[in-house]
Amino acid sequence: MTSLLLPRPQRLALLALLFFSSWVVHADGEAGFPADLAVTENGTTHQLSLTGEAERKFFLFRVYEIAHYAEDGEAQSLSTDTVVSDGPAKAILITFARKLGRDQIRDEFDKSLRRNAQDDWLAAAEPTIAAFIDAIDRDAQAGDQLVFYWLSGGQLFAEFNGERAFAVTDTAFAKLVWSIWFGAKPACDREELLARATKTGDA
């Protein structure tokens, strides 16, 4: 990979562009996201349906593919204006297409959680941001999966390759996470992430 030949500060800057920059591409990848997800929390099972998918590329490099899900029967009510809000269950599923180091992921999440943030979200969520960054304890390899679940009441948890890696009840932090991909400067095509929901609503 070309960035390995660069000095470390330039490598980190390049990875910022790779992982979270707001360059938009359309989904045409190979992740093969499932049409449905099920998540059980506190004795309640939530059935979620795929609302859309997108892909991050940097020139010829595929970085990750991403899919968004919403609770069955609720997808048609979502829009880019309403998705960053507490309500029925939602999920974001990321499949990495290349290796990213732990420190690189930490650095870029720290920046990206702030990129589209409202001041009150940041003020409320700063302790959670620090705890989340600290919980990132390993590299991501090609094929690894990261899932964020946002349940009603600000319940948010993350799973890495099927293992619970982080959990918190913090609506402000959940908004920050979703704003990475649905904020004013999204890290991917946010319209693509809701494309199926729009079609369902028009049907």
CATH code, domain carrying 8: 3.50.70.10
Residues 114-136 pLDDT 10s: 999 999 999 999 999 999 999 99
Helix (H) or strand (E) run with residue 74 in it: none
Q: % helix / strand / coil in the chain, to the nearest 5? A: 35, 30, 35
Full residue range of the structural domain in which residue 158 is found: 2-202
Residue 2, SS3 per DSSP: helix
What pTM was computed for the model?
Answer: 0.83
Domain total for the chain?
Answer: 1
> Which tokens belong to 171?
């609506």
Task: Give, in order, the Cα–Cα distances in Å from 49 to each of 75, 112, 158.
Answer: 8, 26, 18
CB 124 within 8 A of CB 86: no
Q: Which residues contact 116 (CB under 8 A, 6 or more apart)?
A: 179, 180, 183, 184, 185, 186
For 179, phi and psi rounded to 5 degrees?
A: -70, -20
Confidence of residue 56 (pLDDT cuts 50, 70, 90): confident
Residues 132-167 pLDDT 10s: 999 999 999 999 999 999 999 999 999 999 999 999
